[in-house]
Structures are given as C-alpha cells and as structure tokens.
A and B are shown apart, each in its own frame.
Chain A
Amino acid sequence: MGLVLENLPGLVERFPGGSVAITRLDETINLARSNSLWPLMFGTKCCAIEMLMATGASHHDLARFGAEVARASVRQADLMVIAGAIVKKMAPRMRLLYEQMAEPRYVIATGSCAISGGPFMYNSYTVVRGTDEIIPVDVYVPGCPPRPEAFFWGLLTLQRMIREGETIREPGVRRKPVMSALPDGVSLQEIRREILAALVEENVVDVAKASATKPWARKVREWIQKNTSR
C-alpha cells in the first residue's frame, strides 16, 4: 500500500491508523491507463519480430512497463503497434481494426516502412507510403527495425503523452502534447556528430591494430616470414 501511495500523483496526508489522499481524477485515471496498455497482436513484417516478440520475451521484458498483455482481438486492446509495411490490400483492414478498438486507443508506428514506406517508397506498386495516411499515429519510432530499447522509449513517450494530455471531461478528445522523442539533454546535432564519428572510425581499417589482439595473427605473420625468406 505504501508503494501505491508514494507513486500517486497528488497529496497524501498520513493520519494515525490510515492515510488520506487528495488527487485529481484525471491524474489517477491517466496513471492507470498509461501503465496498463494492452497491445494488439498485429505484425505485418520483420519489425514484428523485434517489436512484439523480442520485446515481449524475457530478455527485454515488455512487462516492466505494464504493456505485455498482447491481445488477439482489437476489442480487448487499446494499443496498436504497427510493425511493418502496410500494403494497399491491408490498408482497409487496418483501418477497420483501428475503428473497432475502443477509446481511448493509441497507435505507435515502428520502423521506416510504417512511418514513410521506407525502402518501398519508390517504384513500389503496393506499399502505403506512411500509415499516418490511413490512421492517426501517436508516436513514431524510427529504425529499420528499431532496437527494443528504442521501442521502449517510444512506449515511455506514449505513457508520458497519456499522463500529460488526457482528461475525462472531454472523452475522445486528446490534447496531444508535442514532445521530442529524444531523451533529456540529448540534441539532434549531438547524435549526428556521434554517428559521423562512428562511421569514420569504422571505415578506417587499421590491420596491424586490429590483428594485434588476435591469436591467429601471430601465426600468420610467422607463416609469411617463413615463406618469404625462402
């Protein structure tokens, strides 16, 4: 009970023999909603392996965020993770699935294909160029496919959006706070610089340095010396 009261948004007054909590209904409901997202089992391509299977398994463990109850029916789910490209034939079906979900409903688009069509943007006769042309998307998680950690960050962003942007006074209406998907204190320029540095570092091949630690390298050097001295 103590754990619940400590995490409750609002004021907790302790009295002998019990406690009184004063809070806003919005905040408690949003707290409950954000921590019990039920995702829909909906994977259309390779992102599903990463988003719904790897994250759900014990190593990464989606259950830490209270979103592990994957449902096979949209009527029991409130989070749709679009994991993979949506083709023209699938698009009306996906729209139908979205409309069958009960409010409040949330959508996370993961991976390049779901965000923009990805590699199938050009010269493709069938892939939809971005799922936000069909249904509203709350959070985008870029990557091809994203790491499970990236998906978790997307999930945490969605939880933050739910906690800050919803009120029961206007059901169905969501004030979407625009928030950066980047962690605090990290700028886009910084990431670009790091990626550039990593690319440069990876492209410089220093054979002597790389082979110095390898046990086979000594044998190769000996072999070369032996064979060239003849």
Chain B
Amino acid sequence: MDSEKHLTLVESLYPTVQRRTQSDRPAITVECDRLLELMQTLRDHAGLRFDLLLTHTAVDYPDENRFELLYLLYSTVHGTRILVATNLERSRPVAPSVCGIWPIAEWQEREAYDLMGILYDEHPDLRRIFLEDDWEGFPLRKDYQDSYMLELPK
C-alpha cells in the first residue's frame, strides 16, 4: 500500500496531476511544462525518493496526434514503482530532458530521439545511438516509410 500513499502524496503536492485508472501499476499523467519540476520532487522528496529511472520510452498515437512519453521510476528506499506519463504534440515533439535528475536518462533519451524523433531540451549530447548517423527519418513512428521496406501483401 506504499504506492497508494505515494500517489496521494503526489496528488496533494501537484493538484493538476491525473491518476491513470486503466493501468496495472501506479501511474500518473502530467502536463509537459510541469514534468521537470515533478520529477525533481519525485526524486528528492523524503516521502517519495524515486532514485532510479528504470526505463524511458515513447509511444506514437498518430490518430490522436500525440506522442506519449513514459518514465518508469523505482524507489530503492521504499521498494515501490511509479509510471509517469506526459503527452507531446505530434507536430512539435519537444520535451524537457531529465538528464540532470537521473544521468542514465542521457542514453534512454538518445534512444527515444533515434527511433521516435523526440527532441529534448538541454540534452548534453543528442545524437543517434542505434542507427547510422546519416539515417533519415525515425523508424518507430507509425507513418515511417522507407525505400527498403516491403509492404506486407494483403
């Protein structure tokens, strides 16, 4: 029940944060411009202490014209997890970088940039990490097209 306690604590600190109901783990959604502030609190607040960023990834929803960024956090102090989500407009995928809070985010954000084309403000070294440096486009976007790819025949 620690995670329930954490969720109510986060909600009392940030009233605009929404709890996600359709999720198999404690999860919250936050607006993009308050993300950095919330993340700093999640790591440093004595009752939360989410000191480990387990994973960071992005999901493409072309029908709803948005990218969803997901941050899975773990607290080694309390042994709980929390999923933080935020939405970006698809036409302007710029998000704040959390490298200053968890240094491991540097490579995870490079991966999200490489495959989804998310741009991170104040990232120290935003280069491609898996694909070649001269690759064009971002292959994990749903509308990615390539002269090499074969369409699955109907």
Q: Size range of the interface on A?
A: under 10
Give the contact stretch, choosing among B29-37, B87-95, B99-107, B141-149: B141-149
Per-residue interface assignment for chain B, residues 33 to 73, with 1 indicating a CB less than 8 Å from any chain A CB and 0 otherwise: 00000000000000000000000000000000000000000
Q: Does B151 contact A (CB under 8 A)?
A: yes
Q: B150–A125 contact, CB under 8 A?
A: no
Per the bound structure, the CA–CA distance linking A89 and B151 in Å amounts to: 21
Per the bound structure, the CA–CA distance linking A125 and B148 in Å amounts to: 7
Q: Does B26 contact A (CB under 8 A)?
A: no
Q: A122–B139 contact, CB under 8 A?
A: no
Contact of A89 among B132, B144, B153 (CB under 8 A): B132
Contact of A122 among B132, B144, B146, B151 (CB under 8 A): B151
Q: A122–B148 contact, CB under 8 A?
A: no
Contact of B144 among A88, A121, A125, A129 (CB under 8 A): A125
Q: Does B13 contact A (CB under 8 A)?
A: no
Residues of chain B in range 113-150 having any CB-CB distance to chain A below 8 Å: 131-132, 139, 144, 146, 148-150
Per the bound structure, the CA–CA distance linking A125 and B153 in Å amounts to: 16
Q: B151–A123 contact, CB under 8 A?
A: yes
Per the bound structure, the CA–CA distance linking A124 and B140 in Å amounts to: 10
Q: How many A-B residue pairs have CB under 8 A?
A: 23
Q: Size range of the interface on B?
A: 10 to 19
Q: Does B152 contact A (CB under 8 A)?
A: yes
Q: A123–B148 contact, CB under 8 A?
A: no
Q: A125–B151 contact, CB under 8 A?
A: no
Q: B150–A121 contact, CB under 8 A?
A: yes
Closest to B144 in A: A125
Closest to A89 in B: B132
Closest to B137 in A: A125
Per the bound structure, the CA–CA distance linking A58 and B148 in Å amounts to: 42
Per the bound structure, the CA–CA distance linking A124 and B146 in Å amounts to: 9
Closest to B152 in A: A122
Q: Does A100 contact B (CB under 8 A)?
A: no
Closest chain B CB from A122 CB (angstroms): 4
Q: A89–B131 contact, CB under 8 A?
A: yes
Per the bound structure, the CA–CA distance linking A122 and B149 in Å amounts to: 7
Chain B residues, CB < 8 A from A123:
149-152
Q: Does A23 contact B (CB under 8 A)?
A: no
Per the bound structure, the CA–CA distance linking A88 and B149 in Å amounts to: 12
Closest chain B CB from A86 CB (angstroms): 14
- Count chain A CB atoms within 10 A of each CB in B149, B151, B153 and give the residue with the most: B149
Q: Does A126 contact B (CB under 8 A)?
A: yes
11 CB < 8 A contacts A-B: A88-B148, A89-B132, A122-B152, A122-B153, A123-B149, A123-B150, A125-B139, A125-B148, A125-B149, A126-B131, A129-B150
